[in-house]
């Protein structure tokens, strides 16, 4: 605590006539660290259409440093940022390309996907928003000076997606020392995918999405820096078991849990000791855990 802060605190205490500090104030007075890192899930997806540049900007306006996204490969091998393996829910693909059910991402070229409206489903304000390529997405995150939690989506559908993802990251300057150390995490539900990223770029921070059994955690610690489970599957004991182990970079494994969208559950998982919270409502979670 700085001298100015200490003086101000003393003045406040005097004005309050010795009133007992609230828990949050006690934590601040004791110099407690900030709460868990907040990750804007698919961007600030409660406020703008998920995985669009508008969602990145919405997170930035809220003061959120970290955004999470999903990458998949088009038929012609371009990485695009979209969550579902099909395009129907978040674009107008069914109207633009009738007769091409099930409208799988892998069956469309990048040029075809670029024609789709990825915003109208969310609201008229976002009509005409596009599915960004990973390159476009990285450019926007860089412009905003934000950080990226990148999910390799459905890797079993896209052989070689890890290599292509790392290639684009390298071309866009995201594999230099500064980005790798402070601004990038690559995660996946596929253990083999995480292993592939770690094998190709051992310096990159990686995360496994899921809740492995405690007995299996040491095997994951060989190739991942984070265990990132659903918040409904964890408690304080599980978080502690993960954090007792060291990952491939010699640091304790971290836990980033998802997808927590309300204040009560945010406070609950923060109490478990998680390192980060992935959320559609990053402002709500931030305010509940500080």
Residues annotated catalytic, as ranges: 41, 83
Structural element, H or E, at residue 243? helix 236-243
Kindly tell me the sign of the dihedral angle through the C-alpha atoms of 35, 37, 40, 41.
Answer: negative
Beta-strand ranges (E) seen in 134-183 are 147-152
Helices (H) and strands (E) in the chain — how many of each? 13, 9
Cis peptide before 17 (omega within 30 of 0): no
Q: Per residue, what are the HEC states of 61-88?
A: HCCCCEEEEEEEECCCCCEEECCCCECC
CA distances (Å), 160 to each of 18, 79, 149, 163, 250, in order? 64, 11, 19, 5, 28
User: Tokens standing for 230?
Assistant: 């659903």
CB 237 within 8 A of CB 249: no
């Amino acid at each position: 605590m700085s001298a100015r802060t200490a003086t101000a605190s003393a003045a406040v205490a005097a004005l309050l006539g010795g009133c007992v500090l609230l828990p949050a104030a006690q934590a601040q007075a004791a110099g407690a660290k900030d709460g868990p890192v907040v990750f804007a899930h698919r961007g600030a997806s409660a406020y703008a259409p998920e995985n669009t540049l508008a969602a990145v900007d919405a997170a930035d306006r809220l003061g959120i440093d970290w955004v999470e996204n999903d990458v998949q490969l088009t038929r012609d091998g371009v990485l695009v940022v979209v969550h579902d393996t099909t395009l129907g829910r978040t674009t107008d693909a069914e109207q633009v390309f009738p007769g091409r059910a099930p409208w799988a991402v892998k069956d469309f070229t990048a040029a075809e996907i670029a024609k789709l409206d990825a915003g109208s489903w969310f609201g008229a304000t976002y009509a005409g928003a596009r599915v960004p390529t990973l390159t476009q997405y990285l450019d926007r995150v860089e412009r905003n000076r934000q950080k990226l939690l990148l999910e390799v989506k459905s890797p079993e559908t896209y052989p070689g997606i890890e290599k292509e993802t790392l290639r684009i990251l390298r071309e866009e300057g995201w594999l230099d020392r500064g980005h790798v150390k402070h601004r990038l995490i690559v995660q996946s539900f596929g253990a083999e995918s995480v292993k592939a990223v770690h094998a190709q770029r051992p310096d990159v921070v990686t995360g496994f999405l899921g809740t492995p059994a405690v007995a299996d955690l040491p095997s994951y610690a060989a190739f991942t820096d984070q265990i990132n489970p659903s918040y409904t599957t964890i408690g304080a004991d599980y978080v502690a078991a993960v954090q007792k182990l060291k990952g491939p970079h010699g640091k304790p494994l971290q836990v980033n849990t998802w997808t927590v969208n309300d204040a009560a559950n945010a406070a609950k998982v923060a109490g478990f000791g998680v390192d980060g919270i992935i959320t559609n409502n990053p402002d709500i979670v931030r305010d509940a855990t500080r």
